[in-house]
């Protein structure tokens, strides 16, 4: 049994779960390492806290955070709490916001600042997430008993130690920022959103409840 997501997101998820064979073989080990971590927390009846970290907390870390929360809901994995942060705060990039909206997430800015707070919904029966750019040790993020998931190689290489993290994973992705203001922008953001979604769904699909 799966929990229902918002209709357009449900359709995207059903498409992505049919594409697990498209995941590169070399990605399976880090993905299944995350599965094993989540499984161990479930077996101990402990909350699962995942903090997705990238340099600017503007694209890949937010995309991963939102997919992980949606995937946990879809696969009915309770007590999963997903966060994101960076080595510096910027803003949730509007191009990434649009790409996630196109994937089926309902995202609205609740204020108009240089670093807006966004309300994000992925299912009618789940609370909206409040998402904004922040440092990985921001007060809204966990201080202990969490996994640090490094979504960009720069942050992975330049943050050798994340205080409070009980586990660290390198799950890095190419930055769609490289295609900003080019004819490939929309295609590359869609490609990255779908790659991250596919891999995060794969992680949670292997959980035994």
Strand, coil or helix: what is 12? Answer: helix
Number of domains in the chain: 1
Q: Checking phi first, is residue 68 left (phi over 0); if not, alpha (psi -120 to 50) or beta? A: alpha
> Is residue 59 situated within a structural domain?
yes
Q: How much is the mean pLDDT over the chain?
A: 95
pLDDT for 160 equals 65
pLDDT of 59 over the 80 cut: yes
In a domain, 1, yes or no: no
| Mean pLDDT computed over 18-40 | 97
User: What's the confidence (pLDDT) of residue 112?
Assistant: 86
- The helix/strand/coil state of 108 is strand
CA distance 19 to 23: 8
Whether 35 and 107 have beta carbons less than 8 Å apart is answered as no
In a domain, 10, yes or no: no
User: Which pLDDT does position 1 carry in this prediction?
Assistant: 73
Q: Tell me: the pLDDT tens digits for 82-97? A: 999 999 999 999 999 9
Token representation of residue 133: 């750019």
83 Cα distance to chain centroid: 8
- With a CB cutoff of 8 Å and minimum separation 6, the contacts of 44 are none
Which structural domain, as residue segments, surrounds residue 201?
A: 29-173+181-205
Radius of gyration of the chain (CA): 16
- Confidence at residue 158, expressed as pLDDT on a 0 to 100 scale: 66
Domain contains 132 = yes
Mean pLDDT over 109-123 rounds to 95
Angle between helix 185-205 and 7-17 (nearest 10): 70
Q: Is position 75 within any domain?
A: yes
CATH of the domain at 105: 3.40.50.2300
pLDDT digits (tens, 9 = 90+) for 119-172: 999 999 999 999 999 999 999 999 999 999 999 887 666 666 799 999 999 999
Joined together, the tokens standing for residue 174 give: 């190419």
Check if the beta carbon of residue 16 is closer than 8 Å to that of residue 197.
Answer: yes
Closest CA to 96 of 121, 128, 118, 113: 118
In a domain, 17, yes or no: no
Six-digit token pair at 115? 């670093």
């Amino acid at each position: 049994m799966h929990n229902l997501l918002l209709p357009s997101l449900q359709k995207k998820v059903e498409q992505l779960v049919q594409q697990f064979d498209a995941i590169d073989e070399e990605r399976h080990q880090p993905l299944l390492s995350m599965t094993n971590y989540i499984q161990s927390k479930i077996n101990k009846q402990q909350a699962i806290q995942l903090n997705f970290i990238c340099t600017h907390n503007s694209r890949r870390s937010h995309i991963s955070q939102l997919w992980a929360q949606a995937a946990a809901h879809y696969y009915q994995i309770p007590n999963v709490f997903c966060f994101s942060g960076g080595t510096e705060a910027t803003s949730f990039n509007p191009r990434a916001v649009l790409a996630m909206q196109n994937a089926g997430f309902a995202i609205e800015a609740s204020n108009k600042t240089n670093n807006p707070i966004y309300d994000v919904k992925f299912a009618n029966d789940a609370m909206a997430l409040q998402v904004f750019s922040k440092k990985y040790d921001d007060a809204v993020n966990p201080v202990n008993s969490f996994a640090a998931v490094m979504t960009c190689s720069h942050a992975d290489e330049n943050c050798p130690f994340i205080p409070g993290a009980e586990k660290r994973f390198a799950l890095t992705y190419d930055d769609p920022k490289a295609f900003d203001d080019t004819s490939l922008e929309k295609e590359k953001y869609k490609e990255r959103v779908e790659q991250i979604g596919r891999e995060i769904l794969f992680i949670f699909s292997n959980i035994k409840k």
